[in-house]
């Protein structure tokens, strides 16, 4: 009897050991399978995805009377997480002599419409940036179409980042607006600047706006800057690279006439650089009104306002 009990006890122990070993191996296999499955799983959004409202008017913040015949669609620089108008209620275009005669539309970018873009987790890459720049051009298209469908005369004005959004829109959508005013932009961005943007390095140009200042890539990050600052900077640089990587002189070469564009550039623009003779010749060949301004990036608008006021540039 004792012998039988011994064998039963021994068998139970062996069973328990084997069971534990099996359980351990099964757990290890499950973890391995889950890891592989996670690795193979489709890439998910690292932020709340941009989803457009069915209400198109949510794509902008407006000022003035909707009864006005002319709609002025205004695009900010950036990319930003808050519109200038949303921040302080005042924009440079408000200095236009007939500003109150227009229905003024402060147009969202994808990053001001969906502020979660700058709250990305783990990674923000070029593919995501391309998607969001496409969303920004889609916003511009929807806004223009909304007002043209209602019989309005539509003027689109874009500075800096939005000065790239306009040619991006023109390259991907029908040109529905009556007039475009571009300030502080390029139709063929400096390729070296784009390379540095892809590396998440900010750059600017020499005082003449022609040669890019080569940054020190080994310079350590500023310890006084917060993690949030670098998170936003990474997204901004990739968004600028995503929209600036395209040669719009090629994408728009089949457009026979772009005479409804007025293009202002500063001959001391250290932010995006001075357009090359190649760019300027392309624009002139498409009947674009090209105006050189003796200023840097941020003061071009002053000359623009003066020339509209004098009638040299018409809306």
Taking the domains of the chain in order of start, what are their residue ranges? 1-41, 56-310
Q: pLDDT value at position 43?
A: 43
Please tell me the distance from the alpha carbon of residue 31 to that of residue 162, in angstroms, as a whole number: 48
Please tell me the predicted confidence (pLDDT) of residue 92.
84
From first to last of its 315 residues, what are the pLDDT tens digits of the chain? 444 444 444 444 433 434 444 444 344 344 333 333 333 334 456 899 899 999 999 999 999 999 999 999 999 999 999 999 998 887 888 899 889 999 999 999 999 999 999 999 999 999 999 999 999 999 999 999 999 999 999 999 999 999 999 999 999 999 999 999 999 999 999 999 999 999 999 999 999 999 999 999 988 888 999 999 999 999 999 999 999 999 999 999 999 899 999 999 999 999 999 999 999 999 999 999 999 999 999 999 999 999 999 999 999
Domain 56-310 classification at class level: alpha beta
Q: Please, are residues 47 and 123 in contact by the beta-carbon 8 Å criterion?
A: no
Alpha helix ranges (H) inside the chain: 2-40, 84-88, 110-113, 126-148, 161-172, 191-198, 227-244, 248-251, 277-285, 300-310
| C-alpha span between 261 and 263 (Å, rounded) | 6
Q: What is the pLDDT of residue 93?
A: 87
- Give the pLDDT score at 29: 40
Q: Which pLDDT score, from 0 to 100, does residue 267 have?
A: 97
């Amino acid at each position: 009897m004792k012998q039988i009990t011994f064998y039963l006890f021994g068998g139970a122990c062996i069973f328990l050991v084997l069971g534990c070993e099996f359980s351990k191996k099964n757990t290890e296999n499950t973890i391995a399978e889950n890891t592989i499955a996670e690795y193979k799983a489709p890439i998910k959004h690292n932020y709340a995805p941009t989803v457009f409202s069915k209400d198109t008017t949510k794509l902008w913040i407006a000022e003035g009377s909707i009864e006005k015949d002319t709609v002025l669609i205004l695009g900010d620089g950036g990319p930003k997480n808050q519109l200038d108008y949303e921040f302080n209620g005042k924009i440079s275009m408000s200095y236009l002599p007939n500003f109150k005669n227009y229905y003024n539309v402060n147009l969202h970018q994808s990053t001001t419409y969906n502020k979660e873009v700058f709250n990305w987790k783990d990674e923000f890459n070029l593919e995501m940036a391309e998607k969001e720049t496409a969303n920004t051009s889609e916003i511009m298209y929807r806004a223009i179409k909304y007002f043209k469908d209602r019989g309005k005369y539509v003027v689109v004005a874009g500075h800096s980042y939005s000065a790239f959004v306009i040619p991006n829109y023109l390259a991907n959508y029908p040109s529905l607006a009556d007039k475009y005013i571009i300030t502080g932009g390029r139709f063929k961005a400096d390729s070296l600047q784009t390379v540095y943007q892809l590396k998440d390095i900010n750059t600017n140009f020499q005082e003449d706006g022609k040669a890019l200042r080569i940054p020190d890539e080994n310079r350590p990050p500023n310890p006084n800057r917060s993690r949030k600052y670098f998170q936003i900077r990474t997204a901004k640089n990739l968004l600028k690279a995503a929209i600036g990587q395209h040669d719009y002189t090629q994408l728009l070469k089949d457009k026979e006439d772009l005479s409804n564009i007025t293009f202002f550039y500063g001959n001391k623009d250290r932010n995006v650089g001075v357009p090359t003779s190649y760019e300027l010749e392309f624009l002139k060949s498409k009947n674009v009104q090209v105006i050189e301004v003796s200023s840097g990036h941020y003061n071009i608008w002053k000359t623009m306002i003066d020339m509209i006021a004098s009638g040299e540039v018409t809306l």
